[in-house]
Amino acid sequence: MPSSTDPDVKSQLAAADHERVGDQPNTRAQVSELSLLRPAERLPEPAAGSAGGMGQSATIVQQIGDGRPVRLIGDVVVELGFATREKVEEAVEIARAQRKPTGQVLVEQGVLRHDQLARVVAERFGLDYIDLSVYELDMGAVNLIDMEAIRRYQAVPVGFLEDGTLLLAMADPTNVLSIDDIAMLTGRRVRSASASIEDLNILIMRLSRVEQSIEEVVEEDPQEESDFQIDEADKDAPVIKLVHSIIAEAIEQSASDIHIDPGEGDMRVLLRIDGVLSQTATLKRSMATSVISRVKIMSEIDISERRVPQDGRFALTVNGRRVDVRVTTLPLVYGEGAYLRILDKGVAVRGLESLGMQRTEQDRFAYAIARPNGAVLVTGPTGSGKSTTLYAALGAINDGSRSILTIEDPVESRIAGVKQMQVAPKAGMTFAGGLRAMLRADPDVIMVGEIRDRETAHIAVEAALTGHLVLSTLHTRDAPSALGRLMDMGIEPFLISSAIDCVVAQRLVRVLCPHCKQPSKVPESLLAEYGLYESEAFESAGCTRCSATGYRGRMGIYEVMSVSEEIRALVLRNASVDEIAATAMGQGMRRMREDGIAKVRAGQTSIAEIERMTTSML
């Protein structure tokens, strides 16, 4: 057993990555198991030994170490299989020569990654290691101390143990002074755990950004009072802060939806990012009801009614941008859940060239929207990025020389210089009705959010034939099917064949995270089908920059069909969609899947994404 004065221990401690350790050696006994935490995995209960220690201790701080002699950092590195003995010896030599901590040198020399060093520290001092890139934060714990303290101590409270002990993620989990301070600040027992300094910095940065935007929500809100009044009296209440931080986090991560899901135990908070749901936080059951109530108050939903689904909405200003939120509550068996759809109107309209179309496709599309009349249709299922494409088209032709009118459901982005209307079926404002009214207002370009019925289809086609450029969307699986769909809706083939100039079909695929993508093995079937070679594909891995998903952002895969004379003739004689497709391909139309494979070859997305998006068409 080492004592505080044992010079050997001192030198070993100094050899850790973090030097402040030296003045607080591990004299107090505590038993803690090393566990690699995975999402939702519970930490083991602190053993009896630590509880006894707490009682006697003047402070309510956990103790460092498990009573074993602290081993040399090099031994732990070798034992965990992170490096060879030789590599470690080399680093120790350099550390001695440069008077640096061995851990630091091991990382500098590329022998260890930051996360491996954190594991080494955990193993060495008998603490837990937390992989922050996958660990689910308990926002209730995070909110216990303010950002200033988080930054000052370089420590983030990430959750609670069963007995209410606060779990603290630190790059230097042996810093007893910091642990002590945080115990005092929170009035809780604190147990430190080792985290990679890289992960910790990313997390602190993320939390800082979230906090900054919340402050602005609160401070900049006076002019938004008609949307949502913050009650002065309870402005600082933890539950309001918590709700704000959930929303701010969602906006920070460009999430489209927030799910606050009740379960048997704790409540889960999930965000839909790039079309995929992932859990970001858990809320203690005791907090859950107040969080749901707060969301209901904000959305002007009847707070006392918990047995029926309700709808509402509210608006916030986040970083100076107005964000509308639509809320639906559902009475589920485990309690009420809230589902928030974020409509961020400040999102900039993208340029045509940023849609991710390849040259040929972009040229075809640009040619069609530059014409003074005719119809250009964008097709795909809900959430396939059709509106983004239409907005990009409007942005490209919006030079002030043409009157542009839109009717949308809802207006997703506001474009300067474009006259936008929103459908309001309850007030009698439908796509068809709005479209008819628009035509009387002398427009050059008309954008109809969606063609859902025969009446809208008919007016749109007629408008395209009477000197207007018409842009709209349809729900069809591919480009040729759009012509078939219009025929099915009862539109005369001669009208379709002369009105429709171009059809774009699209899906959104996730873009591989540039920081962690790795070469993948291409399945045999695809090798045969598309002539891909092994070296030509990448797959996702997952790192802290992409929240362990392996992807960051999304891009479109496209199929752009120019309606040629041959295709017009096929429509006139009621040809099948297959015939139309064959002719279009003969004229150089690249199928969506082929476009996807080209993007796999370019290292932009994965085969898994293309398979996901193109095998389940609609």
Query: In whole angstroms, how close is the CB of 273 to Zn ion at the nearest point?
Result: 13
> Which of 418, 430, 427, 509 lies closest to 471, judged by CA?
418
In this structure, the number of other CB atoms found within 10 A of the CB of residue 518 comes to 10
For residues 310 and 173, give the distance between their C-alpha atoms in angstroms, rounded to a whole number. 46
CB nearer to Zn ion: pick between 408 and 539: 539
CB nearer to Zn ion: pick between 106 and 543: 543
Query: In whole angstroms, how close is the CB of 606 to Zn ion at the nearest point?
Result: 12
Query: In whole angstroms, how close is the CB of 512 to Zn ion at the nearest point?
Result: 8
Residue 511 has, within 13 A of its CA and on its CB side, a CA count of 11
Is 543 a residue that touches Zn ion (CB under 5 A)? yes
Binding segment for Zn ion among 245-253, 298-306, 524-532, 541-549 (CB under 5 A)? Answer: 541-549
Binding mask 497-536 for Zn ion (x = CB under 5 A): ----------------x-xx--------------------
Q: What DSSP string describes 191-239?
A: EEEE--HHHHHHHHHHHHHHHHHHHHHHHTGGGGTTT-PPPGGGTT-HH
Token pair in block for residue 111: 């022998």
CB nearer to Zn ion: pick between 116 and 310: 116
CB nearer to Zn ion: pick between 546 and 584: 546
Binding segment for Zn ion among 56-64, 84-92, 392-400, 537-545 (CB under 5 A)? Answer: 537-545
Query: In whole angstroms, how close is the CB of 513 to Zn ion at the nearest point?
Result: 3
Q: Say if residues 260 and 295 touch (Cβ distance below 8 Å).
A: yes
Q: Say if residues 129 and 34 touch (Cβ distance below 8 Å).
A: yes
CB nearer to Zn ion: pick between 513 and 571: 513
Consecutive H or E run containing 407: strand 404-408
Query: In whole angstroms, how close is the CB of 539 to Zn ion at the nearest point?
Result: 12
Query: In whole angstroms, how close is the CB of 524 to Zn ion at the nearest point?
Result: 28
CB nearer to Zn ion: pick between 17 and 198: 198
Helices (H) and strands (E) in the chain, counts: 23, 20
Tell me how many residues contact Zn ion (CB under 5 A). 6
CB nearer to Zn ion: pick between 414 and 515: 515
CB nearer to Zn ion: pick between 397 and 516: 516
Q: Residue 546: which residues within 8 A CB-CB, separation 6 or more?
A: 513, 515, 516, 540, 552
Query: In whole angstroms, how close is the CB of 522 to Zn ion at the nearest point?
Result: 21
Is 561 a residue that touches Zn ion (CB under 5 A)? no
Question: How far is Cα of residue 508 from the mean position of the Cα atoms in its chain?
Answer: 14
Residue nearest to Zn ion (CB): 513
Sheet holding 310-318, edge to edge: 137-138, 276-283, 267-273, 257-261, 335-344, 321-332, 310-318
Query: In whole angstroms, how close is the CB of 145 to Zn ion at the nearest point?
Result: 28
Is 546 a residue that touches Zn ion (CB under 5 A)? yes
Binding mask 314-353 for Zn ion (x = CB under 5 A): ----------------------------------------
Angle subtended at Cα 426 by Cα 424 and Cα 430, rounded to the nearest 5 degrees: 45
Residues that bind Zn ion (CB under 5 A): 513, 515-516, 543, 545-546
